[in-house]
């Protein structure tokens, strides 16, 4: 069944911590600054910020988690998660 939001959020935070702390897997741009509008749907806003980053294996799992949590997806033209 569907994952309770609190558990999904916990997993998402753990994944972001892993990405941040795992220096063996360098982040794609070295450093990324995200401006996320948290007053809207938090997950959708974060997903929209991440879909602009392409060919970055480090955040693909995060993108999938956010995609599952976001109820209204960004337009399909922006999302390129098929090439995994």
Q: For residue 25, what is the domain's CATH number?
A: 1.20.1250.10
Overall domain count for the chain: 1
Classify residue 84: in a domain, yes or no.
no
Q: What's the CA gap between 54 and 75, in Å, rounded?
A: 16
pLDDT in the model for residue 1 = 66
pLDDT > 60? residue 81:
no
Q: Which residue bears the tokens 């609190």?
A: 6
3-state SS, residue 52: coil
Question: Does the model's pTM come out above 0.85?
Answer: no
> In which domain, by residue range, is 46 found?
5-69
pLDDT in the model for residue 84 = 46
pLDDT > 50? residue 80:
no
Q: What's the CA gap between 54 and 70, in Å, rounded?
A: 19
Summarised one tens digit per residue, pLDDT across range 20-41 is: 666 665 656 555 555 555 555 7
Side-chain-side CA neighbours of 42 within 13 Å: the count stands at 7
**Joined tokens for residue 46:** 């974060």
């Amino acid at each position: 069944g569907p994952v309770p939001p609190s558990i999904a959020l916990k997993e998402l935070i753990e994944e972001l911590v892993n990405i941040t702390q795992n220096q063996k897997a360098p982040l794609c741009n070295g450093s990324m600054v995200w401006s996320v509008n948290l007053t809207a749907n938090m997950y959708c806003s974060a997903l929209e910020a991440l879909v602009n980053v392409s060919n970055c294996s480090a955040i693909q799992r995060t993108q999938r988690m956010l995609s599952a949590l976001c109820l209204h997806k960004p337009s399909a033209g922006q999302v390129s998660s098929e090439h995994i």
